Amino acid sequence: MPVEWAGLYRDESGAEPIVIHNDGVELRTVIRGTTFVSDDFETWEPLERPAADSGFTLKDRYLENGYLAAFQLDVQIPLPVQTDDGLREARLDCRLEMLPEQSVLSMKLRMGDSTYTVKRTNESFEEILRDLHWKMPARSYLKACIACNWSDYHPVGNPVFGGLACFRDNKDGYRRVRSKADLFAIWGSSPEFEWVQETYLCDQFERRGPDVGYRGSFPGQDILRDGQSGG
């Protein structure tokens, strides 16, 4: 289901509030009158080449119209968290800083009066959400695709955001996955998987258990075996 996220774009030419439209696969926003799209939160490509006086810094490599560089992007993402007291609506505040030689991704999970913070260089939502999860109260867990029993990443790697395969339509096949070879065996099978994002949630969510799939448990087996589990 399409959602909208409030955000703030900033570069050397100034700052501008934005709205990111997310259809579950593609992110789209308008900055200074130019529409940009991205499927990984990091590579923002303009649909048309911006004017020379637009103030954007663009890199030309790989994409026809180039892609944004040298910017800071703040986004607010609603994210439900299951706790001992029931389901709570939390908010994930994300900040992406695209620097000349690296990217810096910061996340703050705001839940009631509590805030949990992680900041990493050249890492993805997967790693940072895992680190955030370790800071949350025992028996609490993110209720989103990253923590679902039916999702996995391709063995060759994954982008900063998205690139998570959902096997909810092939649960029997995914239950048998324990290795890279097992995952490759069902990757192109029927029914097909679908691509989802780490922060997405559907009505077939099941809390990820220990030793599940190729990527294993989330955030880790110790926390699951210590009682942080749920359905």
For 104-122, write each residue's pLDDT tens digit: 999 999 999 999 999 999 9
Flag whether pLDDT at 46 surpasses 80. yes
For residue 12, which of 51, 58, 60, 45 has the smallest C-alpha distance?
Answer: 58
Band (231; pLDDT cuts 50, 70, 90): very low
For 4-21, write each residue's pLDDT tens digit: 999 999 999 999 999 999
Q: Locate the domains of the chain by residue range.
A: 141-225
| DSSP H or E segment with residue 95 | strand 86-98
Question: 45-70 as b/e, with b when 16 or more CB fall inside 10 Å?
Answer: bbeeebeeeeebebeeeeeeebbbbe
For 169-189, write each residue's pLDDT tens digit: 999 999 999 999 999 999 877
Cite the beta strand spans of 32-84 per DSSP E: 34-38, 45-46, 57-59, 67-69, 71-83
For 56-106, write each residue's pLDDT tens digit: 999 876 667 789 999 999 999 999 999 999 999 999 999 999 998 899 999
Flag whether pLDDT at 140 surpasses 70. yes
Q: What is the pLDDT of residue 202?
A: 95
Instruction: Tokens for 135, please give them.
Output: 């800071």
For residue 77, which of 117, 110, 121 has the smallest C-alpha distance?
Answer: 110
Q: What are phi and psi of 67, to 5 degrees?
A: -150, 160
